[in-house]
Structure 1
Amino acid sequence: MNPESGPDTAERTPSSSMDDDAFDSPAPLADDRRLNTERVLPSRSNAQIAVASEAIGGPVGLHAAVGRSRHWTPLRVVFLLALIALGLSWYGKAGCLQQKPAHPADQSASAGQDAGKQLNWNNQRQYYGLCYSDVIAFYDSQRLTIADLRNGTMPYRTYWFAQNAAGEQVGPRQYVSQPVLVGAFMYVAAKATQGWQALVDGTPIPKQLDVVTFFNISALLLALLWLLAVWATMMTDRRRIWIGALMACSPLLLIHAFTAYEVIPVAMLALAMMCWAHRREVLAGLFLGLAASAALYPLLLVPVLAVVCFRNRRMHDFWAAIACAVIAWLTVNLPLLISYPQGTTAFYRDWWQRVPQPDSLYNLVIKATGWAPSTSLVNALALILLVAVICGVVYLAARVPAPMPGRIDPVAPAQLMFLLVAGYLLVGKEWNPQSSLWLVPLAVLAIPHARLLLAWMVIDALVWVPRMTLFLDPGRKWLPEEWFLVAVAVRAIFVLVLCGVVIRDLLIERAPAAPAVTGPIYAGATG
């Protein structure tokens, strides 16, 4: 059975309409005679995949029974690819998990020290080894160690002060500067680390550094969330179910799966879009509220759903989803906002007070012109440009002609969301390398051009190399800063090209994909 077949019964159409007596079969016909006639088959629609498929027997045959496999289904194949990619991503961070004997006089270790051992981050190993991860660094810097937990530390409730070279406390109070859902994730991983270390203490099981256990537990949970995001993305457009393969093998995943906690909002937003595609407005609102509790960018889905519902006369569905999103967000955030308002709002205050980051286009302008804007000016400019991006996307959606009877509405949530998130990154004052993961599921849904997507992902992933150079001491730098600025500019140009492709696809009227628009398979396109 060719692996392009799958078990999705909702996508199959019965072949029983044919007169079985009209055919002389050499063997009894199978009991299951359903066929999926709508699925896009990559080995027949993509020249490169068609050539690559020769290694496993060639493209799927014209008379292949697509949709019946019980073994190598598309979902299982893509999950296997994703697990391999996640394993390679973990291996890429393993260089920062090596340990060495601790020396009290050694001040170069930046995280994790217990039982006479410490992480080997000497001589800026985490930067020249390209293995730096916020997950590792946050264990110590965000007060998540076992010693802190024993002292009653809890995110958003506990605060601390920075220390100068003399060990004196300086500056304002510092809190966990992460959205609530991310802070809760970190706290759960820290408590699991405490429990695991206590469990293996005194047993033959080798005991590793607390921070290593914390990273491994976090990586396991993030990997499960990424698999959930892949599944949700595949189910959003089941006619193009193989798009999950590009998401599972993305070069960005290889570099940034465990760089920070971006997988959490990606998974929640993917679930929200899947539920919306299958007309589950309440669940879509629930996951949207959770996504907004893990990052700011998922809020851009609100104008997207408003446009799609207005075009399709589904405003009652829009208000139902938004009401559920607000309830979900308040359920997660309100208890902490009431109990610890200073700690809970620290993430938003820090974001507002942050200067333009090296990855932003503002930094390019500053470096090129010598411009020295204030933080308030950059904040105002970023907000004005973001509003302009939202208005532009709404105007674009309004310009797209309404579909003729029997045709799919060309305005899909994934396309509009891709444009808005890309605009958010382009006009924002920070674009961390791992933030590009936000675009991956949206891009594979919105852009049906695998080579173009793969080229962008490779370029975007390579930005990590000159980015790490910025933190190295002058004697260790292997690239000048100009290489990083060029990489940022090239990445921005590639994203603009992708936006142009999406806009072109929206404005070009498409031929009908089927005589009638029915069933959940088309829900992703109709919104």
Structure 2
Amino acid sequence: MVAGERLPVAGGGGQVAVARAGRIDPYADEPAREDWFVRGVSEAVGGPLGDHAVRPPRRGFWTPVRIVLALACLLFALHWVQKSPCRDGAWVNLKQYKDLCYTDVVALYYAEGLGEGQVPYADHKVEYPVLTGLFMGAVGLPVHAVGQALGPAFNQGKWFYDANALILCGLGVGTVAMVLALRRRRPWDALLLAVAPAMLFTATVNWDLLAIAPTVGALVAWARRKPALAGLLLGLGVAAKFYPLLILGPLLVLALRSGKLRQAGMTVLTAAATWLVVNLPFAVFFRDAWLEFFRLNSTRGVDWGTFWYIGAHFPRGRDGAGFFPFTWLSTHIPALNLLYGVLFAVCCLGIAALAILAPRRPRLAQLAFLVVACFLLTGKVWSQQYVLWLIPLAVLARPRWGAFLAWQLAEVGYFLAFYAELMGASGKGVIPEWVFVFFAVARLITLAVLVGYVVRDVLRPDRDAVRADGADDPDGGVLDGAPDAAWLPNRRRVDRFHVPVPS
């Protein structure tokens, strides 16, 4: 064996491992060598390490995993600092928008009756799914009780936010750790999540990390071939926010292609049973309060920054009015619900066709990202913190820095424009409407481009960074390395990009 000789890697990958210094290191994760964006940035410090350079032994304290986790802790600490001006709840003269620190956590402590000791669902309707409402009560009611005992000197809203932030940021670091667990061969992939700019600004705007952590945990459980545990975690995620429900579709389609429906069925049934166990007592005893979440979402109008908002506010001519169908839909909510539901269903059918007809079975993270992204691109609601749903899936689906950072910067631009728009809606205009629409379009386009790249990687498996070392689907569990089912006509073909299909 000669140093630098290229050897094929066992498995279906389209690239090969490289033997250097007389040894093969198929697990080396060197972003500066494989990612054009990182390679370009690295030129400022001398460029990527050469093939014949002497590599330092990978020992010592600062391993890639510890560096990523340390940066994740730093990011969430900076996030807490960024939200600090709003912790006391003294929001006067639009301080929450001027300082870019608005958070539902503080606002809803008072709006949901927690500041008065009201029990969620029993005493007050809650606009969120049950697990989020329970979490709000579990933290908020003890804070209220302490506040009652200590008097006005104890700022209940501030302590409520700090307690929530501590738990939510802990879940955020845990999510980074779980992505690291899914990418043991590629630990630097998790760095995209650990330093994501949108995470810095939106981590505790709402309670979305309550659903994100169990959803990523479910992917870890599925990857470890524990379908029941994956279902349990997905069920808890859906009980906190409904978006994890979207993961089940890709799982079933991939299981259909590989003939693993029994394992996927166990996950789906366990998820349904878990959700039912959490929700049933509230649906029976507090039915009206439990239905508030569904009622609100069915009657809710067009949200800021969505595709439908852009169409209704896109500056056109001197009057600046948007396009008629969109302006009409913004006041006819049942028609809007039907239309965006049809569009999302068409997207899902297209993703299912892609999963079945692709030359090689797509990875689970790729399809999950595509479905959640299409849900946001076509939906009538796209709250600023919904970006958190996509970041872990984007990292797992396509760990490339260029398009990811472009999307993240567009999200930060939208974040800034959104707060300026809120100030305008409160009577203090900061930017013209077209500026906000511009940043909303930029967010939509950069996410659509990222979707396009993922679709290309599915159709061209040789371009998939995760499969470059010969892996099939590190998140796939029983799907990993499984051959296509017998009913698929082209199950034994080798695609034209010379990527062997397992059989």
Distance (whole Å) between structure 1 residues aligned to residue 302 and residue 37 of structure 2 = 41
Distance (whole Å) between structure 1 residues aligned to residue 95 and residue 403 of structure 2 = 34
1:18-417 paired onto structure 2 within 5 Å: 37-46=26-35, 49=38, 52=42, 59=49, 64=55, 69=59, 71-98=61-88, 119-145=89-115, 148-149=116-117, 153-159=118-124, 175-194=125-144, 197=147, 201=150, 208-367=154-313, 368-370=322-324, 371-373=327-329, 374-402=332-360, 409=361, 411-417=362-368
Distance (whole Å) between structure 1 residues aligned to residue 412 and residue 388 of structure 2 = 10
Deviation of 1:358 (Å) = 1.9
How has the CA–CA distance of structure 1 residues 526 and 418 changed in structure 2, closer, same or farther, with 3 Å as cutoff? farther
Deviation of 1:376 (Å) = 0.3
Distance (whole Å) between structure 2 residues aligned to residue 399 and residue 129 of structure 1 = 49
Deviation of 1:198 (Å) = 7.0
How has the CA–CA distance of structure 1 residues 466 and 383 changed in structure 2, closer, same or farther, with 3 Å as cutoff? same
How has the CA–CA distance of structure 1 residues 70 and 56 changed in structure 2, closer, same or farther, with 3 Å as cutoff? farther
Q: Tell me which moved more, 491-500 or 37-46.
A: 37-46
Indicate the residue corresponding to 1:438 in structure 2: 389
Structure of larger gyration radius: 1
Distance (whole Å) between structure 2 residues aligned to residue 479 and residue 253 of structure 1 = 24
Indicate the residue corresponding to 1:405 in structure 2: none
TM-score by length of 1: 0.78
Distance (whole Å) between structure 2 residues aligned to residue 520 and residue 157 of structure 1 = 40
Distance (whole Å) between structure 2 residues aligned to residue 86 and residue 518 of structure 1 = 30
TM-score by length of 2: 0.81
> Deviations along 1:312-350, whole A, 9 cap, x unmatched?
221111111111111211121111111111111211110
> Deviations along 1:279-329, whole A, 9 cap, x unmatched?
111111111101111122211111101111122221111111111111211
Unaligned runs of 5+ in 1: 1-22, 24-33, 99-118, 160-174, 403-408
How has the CA–CA distance of structure 1 residues 214 and 59 changed in structure 2, closer, same or farther, with 3 Å as cutoff? farther
Q: CA RMSD in A?
A: 2.9
How has the CA–CA distance of structure 1 residues 369 and 232 changed in structure 2, closer, same or farther, with 3 Å as cutoff? same
Secondary structure of the equivalent of 1:510?
A: helix
Indicate the residue corresponding to 2:462 in structure 1: 510
Query: Are the equivalent residues in 1 in contact too, given 2:473–2:480 (CA < 8 A)?
Result: no
Query: Percent identical across equivalent pairs?
Result: 30
Deviation of 1:52 (Å) = 4.5
Indicate the residue corresponding to 1:16 in structure 2: none
Indicate the residue corresponding to 1:449 in structure 2: 400
Indicate the residue corresponding to 2:495 in structure 1: none
Distance (whole Å) between structure 1 residues aligned to residue 210 and residue 287 of structure 2 = 23
Unaligned runs of 5+ in 2: 1-21, 314-321, 483-503
Deviation of 1:264 (Å) = 1.4
How has the CA–CA distance of structure 1 residues 513 and 43 changed in structure 2, closer, same or farther, with 3 Å as cutoff? closer
Secondary structure of the equivalent of 2:303?
A: coil
Count of aligned residue pairs for this structure pair: 443
Deviation of 1:46 (Å) = 3.5
How has the CA–CA distance of structure 1 residues 514 and 475 changed in structure 2, closer, same or farther, with 3 Å as cutoff? closer
Distance (whole Å) between structure 1 residues aligned to residue 354 and residue 98 of structure 2 = 44
Q: Which structure has the higher relative contact order (CA within 8 Å, separation 6+)? A: 2
One-letter identity of the residue aligned with 1:472: M
Distance (whole Å) between structure 2 residues aligned to residue 481 and residue 518 of structure 1 = 44
One-letter identity of the residue aligned with 2:87: L
